[in-house]
């Protein structure tokens, strides 16, 4: 029996995401933001969401639209510096934040999708990441209501050199939303450039992975050696077209050289 994971619309693809769901969302800056799925989820109305993503978009774009609508309860991220509304909600006690080193966050997602419960890493040793105390939730007056807990630290000596390593638990979410350049009806995906940073690990971490692709092709059209994420991780796929809007987070230009 043929496996066809295509869904007709973004609205249909996210229709069963409930209030209180946890989501892993692809994107590196604004590269690879699954904006069609995000906007469909905004229209669908689910709230009290716990979202794991490298960042939270920017004001008015990406995950920022869900944030502005008050749909996100908690963010687990590594970078939050481009979103003024994020800062306002976090410092005002409206948003919980679990700040995680970028490489650690990617590995927590990948490990979760690989069935690995936890792993040790040197990232964060000697800081509040390991020792605890990072503010996760403020009240309206700016007092810390909740701080991160200490994590287990143990010595290991790979290669014969002993160092301390901190234990990090993996991440598994209810759903994953990702954007890919190309995909087939079996769910095999190809990501483009920076979108490959967090797209595959986010997809792996979701119990139900929903992918939007710019181009949908038939099985066999993608060289197996070029597949970045095998279809076993993907449950639903929609085609959004190559003309979907892609915003640039920061545009830097210089004056043209004189003739």
The answer to whether the Cα torsion of 248, 80, 61, 23 is positive or negative is positive
Phi, psi (rounded to 5 degrees) for 25: -125, 130
Residue 250 or residue 10, greater confidence: 10
Rounded Cα distance, 25 and 11, in Å: 17
Residue 259 confidence (pLDDT): 53
Rounded Cα distance, 241 and 213, in Å: 7
**pLDDT at residue 15 above 70?**
yes
Rounded Cα distance, 77 and 101, in Å: 8
- b/e map of 108-136 (b: 16 or more CB within 10 Å)? bbbbbbeeeeebbbebbbeeebbbeebbb
Rounded Cα distance, 83 and 81, in Å: 6
Whose CA is closest to 113, among 222, 202, 9? 202
Total residues belonging to the chain: 259
Rounded Cα distance, 154 and 85, in Å: 38
- Grouping H, G, I as helix, E, B as strand and the rest as coil, residue 147 is strand
- Grouping H, G, I as helix, E, B as strand and the rest as coil, residue 138 is strand
Give percent of the chain above pLDDT 90.
89
Token pair in block for residue 249? 């987070």
**pLDDT at residue 186 above 60?**
yes
* Cβ contact 229:204 at 8 Å: yes
Identify how many contiguous H helices and E strands the chain contains and give both numbers.
7, 13
Q: What is the pLDDT of residues 58-104, one digit of tens each?
A: 999 999 999 999 999 999 999 987 789 999 999 999 999 999 999 99
- pLDDT class of 233 with cuts at 50, 70, 90: very high
Angle at 179 between CA 106 and CA 22, to 5 degrees: 55
Rounded Cα distance, 33 and 26, in Å: 6
**pLDDT at residue 1 above 70?**
no
Rounded Cα distance, 148 and 153, in Å: 15
Lowest mean pLDDT among 107-111, 149-153, 252-256: 252-256
pTM: 0.94
Whose CA is closest to 136, among 194, 91, 101? 91
Q: What is the pLDDT of residues 51-61, one digit of tens each?
A: 999 999 999 99
Average pLDDT score, the chain: 95
Range 242-248, long-range pairs (CB < 8 A, 24+ positions) = 242/214, 242/215, 244/35, 244/36, 244/214, 245/35, 246/30, 247/30, 247/58, 247/61, 248/30
Residue 80 confidence (pLDDT): 85
């Amino acid at each position: 029996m043929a496996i066809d994971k295509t869904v007709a619309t973004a609205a249909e693809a996210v229709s069963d995401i409930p209030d209180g769901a946890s989501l892993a969302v692809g994107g590196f800056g604004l590269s690879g933001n699954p904006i069609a799925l995000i906007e469909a989820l905004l229209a669908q109305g689910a709230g009290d969401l716990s979202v794991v993503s490298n960042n939270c978009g920017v004001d008015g774009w990406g995950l920022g639209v869900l944030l502005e609508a008050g749909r996100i309860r908690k963010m687990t991220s590594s970078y939050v510096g481009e979103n003024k509304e994020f800062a306002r909600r976090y410092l005002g006690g409206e948003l919980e934040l679990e700040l995680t080193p970028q490489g650690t966050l990617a590995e927590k997602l990948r490990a979760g999708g690989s069935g690995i419960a936890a792993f040790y890493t040197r990232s964060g040793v000697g800081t509040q990441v390991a020792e605890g105390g990072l503010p996760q939730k403020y009240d309206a007056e700016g007092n810390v209501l909740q701080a991160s807990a200490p994590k287990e630290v143990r010595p290991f000596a790979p290669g014969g050199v002993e160092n301390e390593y901190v234990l990090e638990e993996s991440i598994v979410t209810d759903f994953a939303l990702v954007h890919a350049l190309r995909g087939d009806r079996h769910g095999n995906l190809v990501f483009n450039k920076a979108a490959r940073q967090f797209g595959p690990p986010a997809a792996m971490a979701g119990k139900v992975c929903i992918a939007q692709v710019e181009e949908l092709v038939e099985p066999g059209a993608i060289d197996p050696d070029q597949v970045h994420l095998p279809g076993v991780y993907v449950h639903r796929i929609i085609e959004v077209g190559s003309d979907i809007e892609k915003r640039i987070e920061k545009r830097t230009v210089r004056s043209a050289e004189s003739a």
